[in-house]
Chains A and B, each alone.
Chain A
Amino acid sequence: MKLNDAADFLYDKAVEKGLKVFDIVGGISESTGLEIFESKVQNTEISYGSGIGIRIFREGRPGISFTEKLSSQSLIQTLEDAISNSEITDPMELELPEKQTIQEFDLKIFDPGVNEVSFENMIHLGLELEKIAKSKDIRVENVPYLGVSKSESFSVFRNSKGVSFDRKSNSASAYVGVTASQGEQKKMGFYSNSYKSFSEFNPEFMAGEAVTRATELLGASSVKGGTYPVVFSNRVSPSIIGMFLSPYFADVVQKGQSRLTGKVGEKISSELFSILLDPHIEGMPGSRLYDGEGVPTEKLELISNGKLNTYLYNLESAHKDKAKPTGHGSRSYAGKAGTGVSNLFVKKGESTLTRLLRAYPECIYITRLEGGSGCSAISGDISIGVQGFLYQNGIRIRPLDKITLSGNYFDVLHKIEDISNEYSDSYSSMKVPDILLSEMTISG
């Protein structure tokens, strides 16, 4: 059965069973993609997946279940599973949102033009990307990673209080990963981006960026360990901010796993640092009118000039703190509700990147993070391999690798000395400019 019909069927069966409190989440994801290697299409993939999940509360006890089989038999089994799961959980207090009228408008996250792009066009783009990447620089050895894809997702939501909505979005993406070598050294350069329509792709720019990112690091070596002023490029600053979002989530605070416990109303960072969450920006991938639990979303300033204004709430954590849900509930059909953000902006400063790099006689400009496993959102520890460049008086001296960066996120926030006036070009729900920190520890 179709997803909307499955949601209605599950809804009716839940009512028939006498269930009074429940919500239903369903989703469909479709994608078509290809990979190019050595001038031919090596892999082609078409995928279509759908699933639906229900969360019920019986005397406050939650039970969750889901299925990817949308047959009536499987949906009935799913409901039975939820009921039997609710027999073993402890009560969770929360109020599902009531139906209310909100001002609906087009978020412009779905473009019919994306779907009309033919496979031939996608192949053409991929081959062109490879050709350009190989011709850009003699040191380019190989293009081991290159793909073009388009995807679409559709989700439905229903709850027992009558809240009902759906959301449809799509995008087109491409990535190019280039290896370049010089002597024994090999470096990889990667560029990927997503767009709302295929006409926005610029193969010359994309391939060029990937090649530059590989070749500019050739000849890299380590630097003497010590403390240095550091500039995070706007390519990597969203990853750093993204790895440390959970301490702002009320459920994490309530479980004693956030170092921001008791800090609402206090200054937690440099005054230059403000975070705005805005779910209503047209054309941004995180935009949504409702959160994953059916709460209408709204704009919120999380940090204003260094001051923490609030934690981010879903239904359960809001009930626990007797606070109003902030519209940050997240939920997929297969799991429990969590907390999440829509579009996040670290507010731009006034300086240019050049000025940030010139602020100190010597600084390290970081353009690549090597994984995030040494970063813990709970402790705030940052210990991560990085690559980038040594700058002296604003002039690039040489590329750096085999170095690690360490510090603690909650201390680092106070060391922000300047923020640039530019976001990266990435089609992402996280927008963070380049950031200058007065010092961090580098080992080499």
Chain B
Amino acid sequence: MDTLKAARILEAGRECGADFTEIFVEETRHSSIAFSDKKVETATAGTDFGIGIRLIYGTDVLYASTSNEEIEYLIGLIQKLSKTRPSSIGNGVFILPDKSQKVNGQMIALDPRTISQSKKLPLLKQADQSARSLSSKIVQVNARAFDSVSDIQIINSEGLYLTDHRVHSRFTLSVTASDGKEIFTGTETPGAGRGFEFFESLNTEDLGKSAGERALRMLDAGYIKGKKMPVIMGNGFGGVIFHEACGHPLETEAIRKKSSPFTDKMGKSIAQSCLTAIDDGTIPNSWGSINVDDEGTPPQKTVLIENGILKNYLSDRIGASEVGVPLTGSARRESYVYAPVSRMRNTYIAAGKDSLDAMISTVEDGLYALKMGGGSVNPATGEFNFAVEEGYIIKSGKITVPVRGATLIGKGHEILPMISMVGSDLEIAAGMCGAASGSIPVTVGQPSLKVDEILVGGR
């Protein structure tokens, strides 16, 4: 969008009484190739395109999104939006942007748009062959490699005019094992804020082996008898529990609606002193990192909890002003369709000092949740539930047999103080996070850690 067109839109916003007007322009190029049933099943490419316009009145938001870029249509949209409010004159700052400024982005070595999709094929085939070679019980392998390249413009009535270039690549693999009666699927899903070099760096043979071996192990696994017990959570994707049960309630979007158990807890102790948790938007080329947030604020490394004390919320423009906290560069959205709100980036529990063996040895009767599946949380009450993809029973301080079908349930703010040991083996893992502003790439992470008691669902 050129400055003239942008200026007309911002003017229209001011004429309609908005204190602040923002334009978000997105063009995203996607490509994807999927291998399933021992063949290249689909190859897809496409373009998302659209514009999102946000008018802010105090802390009220009016938002319009469209894939129609005609100026008269866009101005019509603003007028239609503003009719939903009593008329007034905006009293915000109003500075028209003059020229665009490019955001310093991640280092991308190989632009996915310049590489043929066929180059991803050998990776998919390797994963397939490696998994299938494990056992005749491997009945299906679905592998997919996909990438996206987005060109973004963020323009606002305070004179901001940024352009940003965002690149993401991801490989997803699911391997299904069956013994004719039971069926189980193991998955691996790495991703990064990198170009084709990400795929070149992957060892898809190892990924195939790891997902396949897990599916086979779990195929033979029994079920755990459900009850309250101590749980050792595995490193990496285990961090999904912190993400869901504590991360979401620390977003100003939840705080400002007073619907978070962490409302009014700033500066207070909410966990044991072994626990420090961070949300970092700046890790180079990480799947959850951003060059700039979707309101144009540079990202930062935000310490959420330091040695058990609540230090920061994750904020966006409206959340920061309503809750009275600084901007953390956390305003994010899936695409132009959504207004930005405070969201997580790379969220992890920092490494501690305990070893995994030391933690296991403290458990008489419990669960080692090595790999977590997905989960969800009710942000208003903190109630969460998570599936354990790969779990083991711990008896008398030793890991014993594998178990499947375990679920962990509880409330985030009640579980947090029960984390009593934190390992040194921090890892982060890629995932997608869904909330009010759509589905966005994030990472979750943690070292292995011990929760003294949690309700485990089983049979």
Contact = CB atoms under 8 A, between A and B. Distances in A.
Interface string B43-76: 1111111100000000111111111100000000
Interface residues of B, number: 81
B176 A225 contact: no
A370 B378 contact: yes
Interface in A38-64: 40-51, 53, 62-64
A61 B116 CA distance: 17
Nearest to B43: A85
A383 B455 contact: no
Given A67-B47, A142-B259, A376-B185, A406 B405 contact: yes
Nearest to A441: B459
A374 interface: yes
B405 A381 contact: yes
Given A378-B183, A378-B185, A86 B405 contact: no
Which has the most chain B C-beta neighbours within 10 Å: A334, A336, A374, A404?
A374
B7 interface: no
A395 interface: no
A228 interface: no
B117 A374 contact: no
Nearest to A443: B226
A385 B385 contact: yes
A188 B65 CA distance: 31
Of A177, A225, A259, A401, chain B has the most CB atoms within 10 Å of the CB of A225
A179 B455 contact: no
A404 B176 contact: no
A66 B47 contact: yes
A406 B183 CA distance: 17
B381 A256 contact: no
A300 to B, nearest CB: 25
A378 B176 contact: yes
Given A45-B339, A370-B378, A381-B404, A88 B121 contact: yes
Contacts of A312: none
Contacts of B380: 144-145, 177, 179, 186, 188
Nearest to A89: B40
Contact of A43 (B63, B140, B407, B459): B63
A43 B316 CA distance: 15
B184 interface: yes
B418 interface: no
Interface string A300-340: 00000000000000000000000000000000001110000
Interface in B84-107: 84-85
B84 A370 contact: no
Interface in B24-51: 27, 33-34, 36-37, 39-50
Interface in B108-128: 116-118, 121
B385 A373 contact: yes
Contact of B373 (A92, A256, A374, A384): A374
Contacts of A87: 118
Interface in A191-246: 222, 225
B49 A68 contact: yes
B457 A406 contact: yes
Interface string B383-423: 11111000000000000000011110110000000000000
Interface string B176-206: 1010011111000000000000000000000
User: What are the 4 closest A-B residue pairs judged by CB atoms, nearest first?
Assistant: A443-B226, A404-B457, A371-B376, A256-B139
Interface of B: 27, 33-34, 36-37, 39-50, 59-68, 77, 80-81, 83-85, 116-118, 121, 139-140, 142, 176, 178, 181-185, 223, 225-227, 257-259, 261, 337, 339, 373-378, 380-381, 383-387, 404-407, 409-410, 455-459
Given A68-B47, A259-B183, A334-B46, 5 more contacts: A43-B63, A65-B45, A255-B176, A373-B373, A384-B385
